[in-house]
Structures are given as structure tokens and as C-alpha cells.
Structure 1
Amino acid sequence: MPDVVADGLRVLFCGINPGLMTAATGHHFARPGNRFWPVLHLSGFTPRLMKPAEQRELLSYGLGITNVVARASARADELSAEEYREGGRLLARKVTALEPRWLAVVGVTAYRAAFEDRKAAVGPQERRIGETRVWVLPNPSGLNAHWTTETMAQEYARLRAAAQD
């Protein structure tokens, strides 16, 4: 699954791993029940609701997308602890090279596993990767029933405001 990245992004969003539909289409967050694209718009990151096929347009807003683990799966719980740890190491190298202002990991469980930080919660983290600050966002998967589209958009908007400073 190719990343949507460039040097010096405002925010690099990091999904857990590609789902099967994402892998099949080549577009991040492609599953119809995934709320990433609506939440991105509702939070003010994009001026309109974008389709997954328009993902390269994110670069014009200073935004990008990557994943913690490259391997596609039907569900994130199919990934091993070692895959998460190795993904965290590779992600740290990628962030060091690209130097985004913020790394936004979408999924607290994935962040905890990738960076071995069991106490992490949604929101800004103390961890930095080089000069890049880190924010953990709720997972936009339709399976994440703890967050509504509206409450998720509020958390994403908190990051948007911080990323404008």
C-alpha cells in the first residue's frame, strides 16, 4: 500500500494497517464504514468531504497518510505484537526522514503496541520523534463504537488547532 507522503507535512496520519478493501483499491481508509474521510472534513482538515480515490489531494493541505504495519488484514487484531513493534521502528525512521510537524496515530491500541506505551491515551503524547510531536486519535473504523463521528471529529479538530500553531 503506497504512502501518501511528502517532506515537512503539517500532519502525517498513521493508520493501523491496510484493510482488505484498502489493499484491493490502493486507497487508504477505503472501506465504506470507515469514518476517516467524513471526520477529516467535519474536523476542518479538508474543505469538503473527499473520497478515498482523492487521497493524493491531501498533500495540498499539508497532510499525508501511512500505516504502522504494511500487511493487509481483515481485522487489526490479526496482527502480532512483533508486527506492531517492528512497524513502530519503521514508522519512527519514516517520521525522522520526512519530518512532519505532527504524527497522528489513529488508534490508541495500535500506538500502545507499536511504541510499547501501555498508558497512552487519546490526545497529545509526551513522546517526540526527532522534532515531530505525536498525537493519538481515535480509530475511525466503524467497529470502534466508543466514539461517534461527532466526538471523533471534535478530537481531530483539537489536533487541527494544535497543528496550526
Structure 2
Amino acid sequence: MPADRRPTREELLASADRTLPLVVAPGLRVLFCGINPGLYSAWSGHHFARPGNRFWPALHRSGFTPRQLHPSEQEELLSLGLGVTNVVERASATAAELSPAELRAGGERLRAEVAEHRPAWLAVLGVTAYRTAFDRPRATYGEQDVRLGSTRVWVLPNPSGLNAHFTPARLAEAFAELRRAVEGRGADPA
């Protein structure tokens, strides 16, 4: 896929149900977990690739990465102790296409993935998906009161450009709160 071209409608539609390779290794500091790949990401072969997705800018603005990475550079996350996976592996046009049963099955698969790779933190990007996948209907953003083995769990806002409730600045601050927790620091002084 050439980096300077946009997919056609037909190419996007043909990307439905594709999966993306995991960006994961044993012992990561944080394993970021999207809901599922969008069609643009599936077409490109890279996580959070759709223009307007705010994952990569938030990751940088929060201090997790020394510069803003392009989605095609996703493998560089591993050298920073970071990784990317999804609750549901198959691509769809919107997360609304996923059934509760599919999200719950994804939660079970994710538990196994976390048990295998044992990241220090699992950061799920989307509170509604987290609530369904992990049967935690009252979950809110931030650190959760459950662990997956020794892995601590944090819920972040969905970085999709469609999530208008979180401005880029608020999203970056939510990511920075997680970074401070990962580094063992509380809130930055005012």
C-alpha cells in the first residue's frame, strides 16, 4: 500500500473481516488494546492508521514516545516497551458492528494473550467495549480494580476522531495519567 494514496471504496469494503498482526512481545510496560481494526487500518496493515485517529498524537503528546510515530512505524513501539492489540481481531467499518458476544469472546482471547505475554499494564481504549468484554458494567476511565494475573488494567478513551467527547488535549492528558502510573508517579504538580 503506497503511503501517499487513499484506498478506494472497493478496497475499504474488501478489508472487512481482515485482521492485523499484533505488535506484542513478552514483558511490555503497556499493551494498548483497541476495540477492533477499522477498514482503513485493515487496508493499510497498520493499527490506528485512519487519518483523524488520535492514538499516535496522544501517545507522543503524553510522553510515551519521543516523537509522533506514523502507523507504519508501529513496530518501533516494542523498543519502547509498548505494544498494540485489539479486543476483537476482525476489521469492521465501525465498532458498533460488533456484537456483545463477539466482545466477550474477544475479552477471553485477550485474557489469554495477556497471560502469555505478561505486560505490566493493559490499556483498553474504549470504556464501553471494556465494560462488555470484561463484564464490568460500571467501569469508568482510569485504573481498574481488577488484575489479569499480575497485569494491571487501565481504561482510556477511544482515540477515534469520532469520539468528540475528548479533545486532542484531553485525550493526551488521559494517556499522560497512565504514563505517570506506569512510571510510578502520581499526578504532575500544578
Give the TM-score range, shorter chain. Answer: over 0.9
**Counterparts of 2:144 and 2:81, CA distance in 1:** 21
Instruction: Please state if 1:36 is matched with 2:55.
Output: yes
Q: Which runs of 5+ in 1 are unaligned?
A: none
Instruction: Please state if 1:116 is matched with 2:135.
Output: yes
Equivalent position of 2:3 in the other structure: none
Q: Which of residues 50, 60, 75 in structure 1 aligns to 2:79?
A: 60
Equivalent position of 1:103 in the other structure: 122
CA RMSD in angstroms, aligned pairs only: 0.5
**Counterparts of 2:135 and 2:50, CA distance in 1:** 28
Instruction: Please state if 1:47 is matched with 2:104.
Output: no
Instruction: Please state if 1:27 is matched with 2:38.
Output: no
Amino acid at match of 1:108: V
SS in 2 for 1:136: strand
SS in 2 for 1:94: helix
Tell me which structure has the larger Cα radius of gyration. Answer: 2
SS in 1 for 2:36: coil
SS in 2 for 1:147: coil
**Counterparts of 1:148 and 1:92, CA distance in 2:** 30
Percent identity over paired residues: 64
Displacement of 1:116 in angstroms is 1.1
**Counterparts of 1:125 and 1:98, CA distance in 2:** 20
SS in 1 for 2:153: strand
Equivalent residues in 2 for 1:1-165 (5 A)? 1-165=20-184
SS in 2 for 1:13: strand
Instruction: Answer 1 or 2: higher relative contact order, Cα 8 Å, separation at least 6.
Output: 1
**Counterparts of 2:128 and 2:42, CA distance in 1:** 21
TM-score normalised by length of structure 2: 0.86
SS in 2 for 1:133: strand
**Counterparts of 1:28 and 1:54, CA distance in 2:** 10
After TM superposition, the runs of 4+ consecutive aligned structure 1 residues lying more than 2 A away are none
Q: Which runs of 5+ in 2 are unaligned?
A: 1-19, 185-190
Displacement of 1:156 in angstroms is 0.5
